[in-house]
Structure 1
């Protein structure tokens, strides 16, 4: 039995609940997730969960929002960097894989099981991050077109959707097949293959 946790400040307790939830999602997905199981993992009474979150869905919303805010900030920083458009796309791809390495629960929640969450706000958050990335990748591809790095007939919208598709495939493939979370030659090979198709 998990030992009872000692009293903690609210911010610390919220972080413990969120981290425990992510760990459990990474291990066994969302379907089996309950507030009782989260409380047991943290070492607190289930009632304590509801002092910090309204429900399991509220916890999931918070996780998705935290993740999307962090990833949008990272991608915007890459977009604003001095890297050329080709390498910006590689950096964005690798940022996602670094996120996967740090915590498998996040990509499983966002890219693998978000559609199973019957909550409009959760689904809206996921659509927001996908929409943001579609717009961002299009901007980078248009920059590459202006600089002559990509073929002139490349459609930015279609190319951005292909990029996101490869990204989602890579993330999902890791946790579906229990591959190691570290980046590998196959991951880099996929993105290199796609980006080579963009070149003149």
Structure 2
């Protein structure tokens, strides 16, 4: 089963990278997997189920990246640097995660998609809150700004930075589409 899920993730990521999130359908995925659509419908009831698999994979990767960081003897400042480097690297390696997160229709999708996205966001907020509070306790972070404001600001700035990365990917995708139409 895990092998099938990995194939689905791989082919779904390819669809997103080459055609965009809007082209991620059960029909297109079945075509890429070279199986009958009816076979895929046994596992995926609707198009949003594909996105859910990708979001759950993203959530697992974040949890894996964070595991062990709590027990690390690194300073809170270094922990922040390490985790943002890891996340940035993950997004560079798998930019389709950005395409999903910044999908303009994300809020209109199935409730399971919204819940998954909110869980990921809550995971990030909790992790940052813990590091910042520890840094304040240890006097590494000397600020009177509330932790919740800092968390919001950090996530907002990282989101802006990653949105720029995603826009860059969109430009590349458009260039690929133009090249394909010329050929």
TM-score range, shorter chain: 0.7 to 0.9
Match of residue 130, structure 1, among 97, 103, 121:
121
1:77 aligned residue: 68
1:103 aligned residue: 94
Q: Any idea what SS the aligned residue of 2:48 has?
A: helix
Identify, as 1 or 2, the structure richer in helix.
2
Match of residue 68, structure 1, among 30, 40, 59:
59
How has the CA–CA distance of structure 1 residues 24 and 110 changed in structure 2, closer, same or farther, with 3 Å as cutoff?
Answer: same
**Are the equivalent residues in 2 in contact too, given 1:17–1:39 (CA < 8 A)?**
no
Q: Any idea what SS the aligned residue of 2:142 has?
A: coil
2:18 aligned residue: 27
Point out 4+ residue stretches in structure 1 off by more than 3 angstroms.
111-114
Q: How many residues align?
A: 171
How has the CA–CA distance of structure 1 residues 69 and 13 changed in structure 2, closer, same or farther, with 3 Å as cutoff?
Answer: closer
> Which sections of structure 2, spanning at least 5 residues, go unmatched?
171-183
What's the CA shift for 1:53?
2.1
How has the CA–CA distance of structure 1 residues 152 and 174 changed in structure 2, closer, same or farther, with 3 Å as cutoff?
Answer: closer
Residues 39-84 of structure 1: CA distance to partner in whole angstroms, max 9, x if unpaired? 2222222222123322221121121112112202322422331111
5 Å-filtered alignment, 1:117-196, equals 117-178=108-169
**Are the equivalent residues in 1 in contact too, given 2:16–2:24 (CA < 8 A)?**
yes
Q: Any idea what SS the aligned residue of 1:169 has?
A: helix
> Which sections of structure 1, spanning at least 5 residues, go unmatched?
1-9, 180-200
What's the CA shift for 1:178?
2.9
Q: What's the C-alpha RMSD, in Å, of the aligned pairs?
A: 2.1
